[in-house]
């Protein structure tokens, strides 16, 4: 028994000595404070945009970013699900850019000391109305009212004792001295944790924050899942990745094109000041015919410019109709097969699309924007459906031929 106790003690000492801050189970308190938020707007694409901005904001304030879980919505379920950050992405690459810690680990290891229950204050720009709000009630953030707000904070048993309105401060740390104003107003001793009801970031992601995508790297599960699918399911050779948005929710969203200069992620192709054009309906919703025409052009172009990369297959991710039958028929004579996942997994879709030899995405979609940013960080080629307009593209080609 004595021998066993000695060996157990040695093992414990060894394990403690090899725990890495931010990944293991022991942490030192960050004297610069912490920042966290609820990723409560939209689905993954929107949340990813907000994450990059929040990461930049935390760094500018020199506070450790408490990595929130991803919020997911599942069919037939009223309450959102919170999926821990590291399920989809590695934590370590982020630490090379700035200090981060998983929310579960912060709550387990540090919250009792750093953020005791009587100091938990929610931050919002201004009062957030509530359906349950009583007359003459003090103004509040109502940080836990509604879904996903309530389920998100409940996942970690977090309740708030007060609200703090930070307006007129903002989050643009690239074009102003606002970071120093945040630090002056909210010192670490009085405000050890800044907990926001929504992401401290703009949507779509600021241009200056797009490059931070390189620090957001897939977990081993999704890296290996994408590699295995490409190796074992897709025919040997190059492949084109497609993202199609055509569900009923998207159809309704595209109705707003006529009233907007920008919609969702459209700055990724039009430019943030519309320097590359104005929004038009085909940019949001394409016809089957235009999709087939553009796909064939891309395949032809890849064959001409990259003769070693013979296109053998097409991989499709979609929120509704993958157009497998239509695309298969159109590409049959080219001996190109069309594929999609047997079981829906949007994260695996993203990981596979990121590895395609060429990617065609929807300019307006933040889901497509995630793939585009990842590919940009590796120098991989991408394009957008119906961009530029077919007439403009034909005019560009005519001018190019004339110059040649």
Residue 307: predicted pLDDT? 82
Residue 392: predicted pLDDT? 65
* The two structure tokens encoding residue 126: 């201004």
Q: What is the spatial distance between Cα 95 and Cα 91, in angstroms, rounded to a whole number?
A: 7
Residue 390: predicted pLDDT? 74
Residue 135: predicted pLDDT? 59
Residue 375: predicted pLDDT? 98
Domain ranges of the chain: 13-208, 219-403
Instruction: Please tell me the CATH code under which domain 219-403 is placed.
Output: 3.40.50.11350
Burial class (CB in 10 A: 0-12, 13-18, 19+), 222: buried
* The two structure tokens encoding residue 382: 């991408």
Does 13-208 match 219-403 in CATH topology?
yes
Q: What is the spatial distance between Cα 47 and Cα 31, in angstroms, rounded to a whole number?
A: 28
Helix (H, G, I), strand (E, B) or coil at 337: strand
Give the torsion through C-alpha atoms of 331, 336, 342, 343, to 10 deg.
-80
Please state the φ and ψ torsions of residue 25, each to the nearest 5 degrees.
Answer: -125, 10
Architecture in CATH for domain 13-208: 3-Layer(aba) Sandwich (3.40)
Strand order in the sheet with 34-37: 100-102, 64-67, 34-37, 193-196, 121-124, 162-165
Residue 8: predicted pLDDT? 47
Residue 131: predicted pLDDT? 67
Q: What is the spatial distance between Cα 124 and Cα 128, in angstroms, rounded to a whole number?
A: 8
Residue 354: predicted pLDDT? 98
* Per-residue pLDDT tens digits of the chain, which is 404 residues long: 444 444 544 444 333 333 444 444 578 999 999 999 999 999 999 999 999 999 999 999 999 999 999 999 998 898 999 999 999 999 999 999 999 999 999 999 999 999 999 999 999 999 988 767 665 577 899 999 999 999 999 999 999 999 999 999 999 999 999 999 999 999 999 999 999 999 999 999 999 999 999 999 999 999 999 999 999 999 999 999 999 999 999 999 999 999 999 999 999 999 999 999 999 999 999 999 999 999 999 999 998 888 888 999 999 999 999 999 999 999 999 999 999 999 999 999 999 999 999 999 999 999 999 999 999 999 999 999 999 987 666 555 555 445 54
Please state the φ and ψ torsions of residue 273, each to the nearest 5 degrees.
Answer: -115, 25
């Amino acid at each position: 028994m004595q021998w066993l106790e000695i060996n157990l003690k040695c093992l414990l000492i060894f394990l403690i000595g090899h725990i890495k801050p931010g990944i293991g189970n022991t942490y030192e308190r960050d004297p610069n404070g912490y920042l966290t938020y609820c990723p409560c707007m939209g689905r993954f694409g929107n949340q990813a945009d907000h994450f990059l901005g929040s990461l930049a904001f935390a760094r500018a304030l020199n506070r450790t970013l408490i990595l929130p879980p991803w919020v997911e919505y599942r069919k037939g379920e009223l309450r959102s699900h919170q999926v821990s950050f590291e399920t989809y992405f590695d934590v370590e690459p982020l630490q090379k850019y700035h200090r981060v810690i998983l929310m579960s680990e912060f709550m387990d290891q540090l919250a009792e000391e750093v953020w005791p229950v009587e100091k938990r204050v929610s931050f919002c720009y201004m009062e957030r109305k509530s359906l349950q709000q009583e007359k003459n009630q003090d103004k509040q953030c109502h940080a836990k009212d509604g879904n996903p707000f309530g389920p998100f904070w409940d996942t970690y048993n977090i309740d708030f004792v007060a609200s703090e309105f930070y307006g007129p401060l903002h989050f643009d740390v690239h074009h102003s001295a606002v970071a120093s104003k945040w630090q002056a107003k909210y010192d670490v001793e009085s405000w050890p944790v800044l907990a926001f009801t929504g992401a401290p970031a703009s949507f779509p992601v600021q241009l200056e924050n797009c490059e931070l995508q390189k620090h957001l790297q897939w977990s081993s599960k999704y890296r290996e899942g994408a590699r295995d699918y490409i190796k074992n399911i897709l025919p040997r050779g190059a492949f084109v990745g497609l993202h199609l948005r055509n569900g009923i929710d998207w159809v309704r969203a595209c109705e707003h094109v006529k009233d907007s200069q920008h919609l969702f992620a459209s700055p990724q192709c039009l430019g943030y000041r519309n320097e590359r054009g104005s929004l038009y309906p085909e940019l949001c919703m394409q016809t089957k015919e235009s999709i087939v025409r553009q796909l064939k052009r891309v395949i032809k172009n890849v064959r001409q410019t990259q003769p070693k990369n013979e296109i053998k297959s097409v991989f499709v991710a979609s929120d509704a109709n993958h157009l497998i039958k239509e695309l298969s028929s159109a590409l049959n004579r080219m001996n190109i097969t069309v594929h999609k996942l047997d079981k829906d997994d949007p994260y695996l879709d993203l990981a596979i699309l990121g590895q395609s030899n060429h990617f065609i995405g929807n300019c307006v979609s933040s889901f497509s924007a995630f793939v585009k940013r990842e590919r940009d960080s590796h120098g991989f080629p991408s394009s957008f459906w119906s961009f530029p307009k077919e007439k403009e593209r034909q005019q560009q080609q005519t001018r190019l031929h004339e110059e040649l």
